[in-house]
Amino acid sequence: MSVDMSTVDEAKLHELLGKVVTDLGAVAAAPLALLGERLGLFRALADGEAVTPEQLAERTRTAERNVREWLAAMAAGGYLTYDGDDRFRMTPEQGAVFADENSPAFALGGYQAFLSCGSAEEQDRLARAFLDGHGVGWHEHHADLFAGTARFFRPGYAAHLVDEWLPALTGVVEKLRTGGRAADVGCGLGHSTVMIGKAFPDALVTGFDSHEPSVDAARELAEEAGVGGRVSFEVAGAKDFTDGPYDLIAFFDCLHDMGDPVGALAHSREQLAEGGSIMLVEPWAGDRLEENLTPLGRTFYSASTLICTPASQSQEVGRALGAQAGEERTRQVASEAGLTRFRRAAQTPFNIVYEARV
């Protein structure tokens, strides 16, 4: 097609091009940020001291010319601060985002996850999914998606799960403190499962995931955390995990990825102990599209297009809720599964936590 430039509003065109340039810079910054982590450049700046490119290169045993260009790119994007006189530094806020993996603001896992979807092979899979509607299975993606997703969500879980989300549920904390049982369905690499196990040493906690390599990694994580004796992991799907009843059944940012979320919750209802709770941690979303046309909504819609919706389409039923399902659609799924009580229990700027009960 050819656009008649006489119909183009110049001001609006330049405004759009400004957004495009910003986005191109962000796309280019993503691999550079991961390089900064891989080479220890961010860690070497975490003390806040202003350094020259030569000094940073010496600290990290890297080439000064490459480091100089990297520093300029990071400073241009606001990821680092330029003080003038050829000196760069990292503010505490920048350190929280790029250098401290235990910070609730740490973001590099997101870069890792999204970049894993950019290869020619991944793009071919996604193009096929758009053409035939059959989706792309979680197991078909590059391993960086699994690791990046875990690293992206872990800081938020660490900041909120034990101190805010679990206490917001009905009687769950008391049950876990006195030897209750919990299931983490779709546990991935097991960070959320291990957090629950560490917080409640008398509870028995089991993580379930259909992706065997993730389960293997989760088992290693539990051993490293010293909870391997009471936190276990099994290869099982959301509709066939067993060994209930459980006082808590949790779904962390995964229900919307499932082909049959109604079937998953109906099975969970059967595995739930009397008086138990199902916790659904989902991405923050409003019920109307207009509410989600924000920078956060853009991120979640993009993740949903690249990962979540194709994952659901690849499974039976293929309901494809998407990462921006919102409260009403999630409530509807719970109702169809026979869960009669549903409420918003907690929320953060990034997540909404729902409690569903019989």
pLDDT digits (tens, 9 = 90+) for 232-253: 999 999 999 999 999 999 999 9
Distance between CA atoms of 344 and 329, rounded to whole angstroms? 13
Q: Is the pLDDT of residue 182 over 90?
A: yes
Q: How far is CA 149 from the centre of its chain?
A: 5
pLDDT at 18 (0 to 100): 96
To which H or E segment does residue 312 belong?
helix 309-313
pLDDT digits (tens, 9 = 90+) for 298-346: 999 999 999 999 999 999 999 999 999 999 999 999 999 999 999 999 9
Supply the pTM of this predicted model: 0.94
Percent of residues, the chain, with pLDDT higher than 90? 98
Q: Is the pLDDT of residue 2 over 90?
A: no
Other CB atoms within 10 Å distance of the CB of residue 227: 19
Q: Six-digit token pair at 260? A: 């049959």
pLDDT digits (tens, 9 = 90+) for 72-131: 999 999 999 999 999 999 999 999 999 999 999 999 999 999 999 999 999 999 999 999
Distance between CA atoms of 247 and 314, rounded to whole angstroms? 31
pLDDT at 282 (0 to 100): 98
Nearest Cα neighbor of 38 from 70, 73, 65 is 70
Instruction: State the DSSP string of 176-197.
Output: HHTT-EEEEET-TTSHHHHHHH
Q: Is the pLDDT of residue 3 over 90?
A: no
pLDDT at 66 (0 to 100): 98
Distance between CA atoms of 112 and 101, rounded to whole angstroms? 13
Strands (E) across 67-117 are located at 81-84, 87-89
pLDDT at 4 (0 to 100): 87
pLDDT at 1 (0 to 100): 79
